[in-house]
Structure 1
Amino acid sequence: MSTIDLRKKAVSITLTKKNIAGVVARVGVVLDISGSMHSLYQNGTVQDVVERILAIACQFDDNAQLDVWVYDNEFSRLAPVTERELEGYVKKRILNDPSVHKFGRNNEPPVMEDVIRKYTVEEESELPAFVIFINDGGVLKSIQKVITRSAVLPIFWQFVGIGKSNFEVLKRLDTMAGRVVDNANFIHWDRIETVSDEALYDRLLDEFPQWLEAAKQKRIVR
């Protein structure tokens, strides 16, 4: 079996364990491409992260595709990735594309607003969107306003911190007040490339089922 097939199998096991096998959801990934991420793009870590998250999309999404954004102080919404386009995706679609702004400073709210625009305006649906947000440093405090405002929308934000920053803002996500449902979670690894697929999927999908149940009760998703 290929690595993507093995990873899809690992996702399936996790979904069964968490009682969400059969759930249909749209899946997106937002990738930090600020200057401090340079080495992780060059050494293949980001390409591997894309493959690992694509395995989730293959189980959740009817089209088996992963929506992709990258951001620094600007952002780009990229072509979705599928198994057919997976090989060399980061190099072809990001590193070798001069229209993609890269390796500047970080600014999260604009890309978050574009995620919201895609899933609630351009492609409005009652299906949930599971958005995995990869970041290696401090995020702007203003993301809290975006998260609070989007709590009534069918979007769950799973933030993933990598590296040794303190992630002060992200650590406070679970205690943010003023939301209809808790629509965001934060997990952290110093080196995501050393985490097994089983451990990765178990943590990534830890709070999504709880949000899904709460969002159904509030009629945010069907």
Structure 2
Amino acid sequence: MTGSAIDLRAVQRAAPGLVNLYKSAGDSLGRHGLAGGRAAVYLVLDYSGSMRPYYADGSVQALADRVLGLSAHLDGDGRIPVVFFSTEVDAVTEIPLDGHEGRVAKIAASLGHMGKTAYHLAMDAVIDHYLDSGSTLPALVVFQTDGGPIDKRAAEMWLCKAARLPLFWQFVGFGNTRSNQFDFLRRLDELPVPGRRVVDNAGYFHAGPEPRRVCDAELYDRLVGEFPAWLEAARRLGIVRA
């Protein structure tokens, strides 16, 4: 088993503020049998109007930082592709290790009106980026949202079609845990296999109304907890070859 894609010293040089996150992510990967593994890591961020408080209080930046800390173990390019979405895809960009501080706010400041939530357009943007990249690695897509999609049928259809690609979608909910806005994501997580999709290619957990209060260890365990089972099933079916 090889080591992390980017070693600790390189993280210390490029992003000293992420060192503790990097260490916590490494511990979680070890607990889940993923130490030394390789994967492309994507981040999808909800830019709908109801997300405004989470951008203002730093919750979105904090999630991006945590995902960067995880990605440094799995992918050696030192950056994560990021899709901002609302009614449309607002931006497809990236956040690098050596320029992560305040990056989310800078990107958000350049975007337009905060709309609604079109999951399927964001998913399509990730799929296009992955296919265009030519990567043969499996991909872990961290998909953050604070509500259900405007087109549930399209979101479900995209997830089922994407099950034949080496992409695992880990949905993360921000907001009131009792809100029925997340009923759809719970159903999406439980779509039957093989009745609707060839493999279970999605997970879901709720980070609550104060997502920054979720400790690093718990967050990383939830981000990667279902990834190993998907990897095993996807390799068995020939979806993942790396």
TM-score range with shorter-chain normalisation? over 0.9
Instruction: Provide the residue aligned with 2:140 in structure 1.
Output: 130
- The Cα shift of 1:126 comes to 2.4
For residue 79 of structure 1, give the secondary structure of its aligned residue in structure 2: strand
Whole-angstrom CA distance in 2 between matches of 1:187 and 1:195: 12
- Alpha carbons 1:154, 1:215 under 8 Å: kept: yes
The one-character-per-residue Cα deviations of 1:168-213 (angstroms, maximum 9, x if unpaired) are: 1110123213211100111112121110001100111110111011
Q: Does residue 180 in structure 1 map to residue 190 in structure 2? A: no
Equivalent position of 1:171 in the other structure: 186
Cα deviation code 1:134-166 (max 9, x no counterpart) = 000122312110000010101000000110132
Distance 1:214 1:3 in 2: 36
- Contact preservation (8 Å) 2:83, 2:125: no
State the distance in 2 between where 1:79 and 1:146 align.
21
SS in structure 1 at match of 2:129: helix
Q: Deviation at 1:75?
A: 1.1
Equivalents in 1 of 2:220, 2:113: separation in Å? 28
Counterpart for residue 130 of structure 2: 119
Is 2:28 the partner of 1:14?
A: yes
Residue number in structure 1 paired with 2:172: 160
TM-score w.r.t. length of structure 2: 0.86
Counterpart selection for 1:89 from 100, 103, 113: 103
Does the CA contact (< 8 Å) of 1:74 and 1:101 recur in 2?
no
**What is the number of equivalent residue pairs in this alignment?**
218
Distance 2:113 2:58 in 1: 16
The separation in 2 between residues aligned to 1:11 and 1:118, in whole angstroms, is: 25
Give distance in 1, aligned partners of 2:62 and 2:113.
Answer: 19
Matched residue of 2:115: which SS?
coil
Q: How far apart, in 1, do the equivalents of 2:207 and 2:105 lie? A: 24
- Correspondent of 2:207 among 176, 189, 205: 189
Which one-letter code corresponds to 1:62 in the other structure? G
In 2: Cα distance, 1:22 partner to 1:77 partner = 31
Q: Given the two structures, how large is their TM-score scaled by the length of structure 1?
A: 0.93
User: Map of 1:1-222 to 2, 5 A cutoff?
Assistant: 2-95=16-109, 97=110, 100-120=111-131, 122-139=132-149, 140-141=151-152, 142-164=154-176, 165-166=179-180, 167-177=182-192, 178-190=196-208, 191-222=210-241
Q: Amino acid of the residue matched to residue 171 of structure 1?
A: R
